[in-house]
Amino acid sequence: MNVKGCVVSSQTKIPLDQQVAALQDAVTAHRSYVNTVTRLVKLNERPKEILEDTERRLPLMEAALKTLQWVQKNRELIIQVHAKSS
């Protein structure tokens, strides 16, 4: 897999900033897809069920992104707390 110019295998540890960037890209693309499917449903070119499924996934993706951004922001604190608990 190629992530922003970095070849990644299932065994590779991906830096947190690259994970955040990849998920941001995925959320942005999914928002665009929601808009496209919404338009197609209004034109009766796609069934409403596809839109419902597509819309249902977006908040889950956004929540995952917010969590990952929180981890990125609080990384040092997490490392410190983990070190003290070990």
Full-model pTM:
0.78
Exposure b/e, 1-36, CB count within 10 A at least 16 = b: eeeeeeeeeeeeeeeeeebbebbeeebeebeeeeee
CA distance 35 to 2: 27
Q: Is residue 2 part of a domain?
A: no
Residue 7 included in any domain: no
pLDDT score for 35: 97
Residue that wins the pLDDT comparison between 85 and 21:
21
Query: What's the structural domain count of the chain?
Result: 1
- Please give, one letter per residue, the 3-state secondary structure of the chain: CEECCEECCCCCCCCHHHHHHHHHHHHHHHHHHHHHHHHHHHCCCCCHHHHHHHHHHHHHHHHHHHHHHHHHHCHHHHHHHHHHHC
42 assigned to some structural domain: yes
Residue 52 belongs to domain spanning: 16-85
Whether 47 is covered by a domain: the verdict is: yes
Q: Is the pLDDT of residue 5 over 80?
A: no
Residue 21 is assigned to a structural domain of this protein: yes
81 inside domain: yes
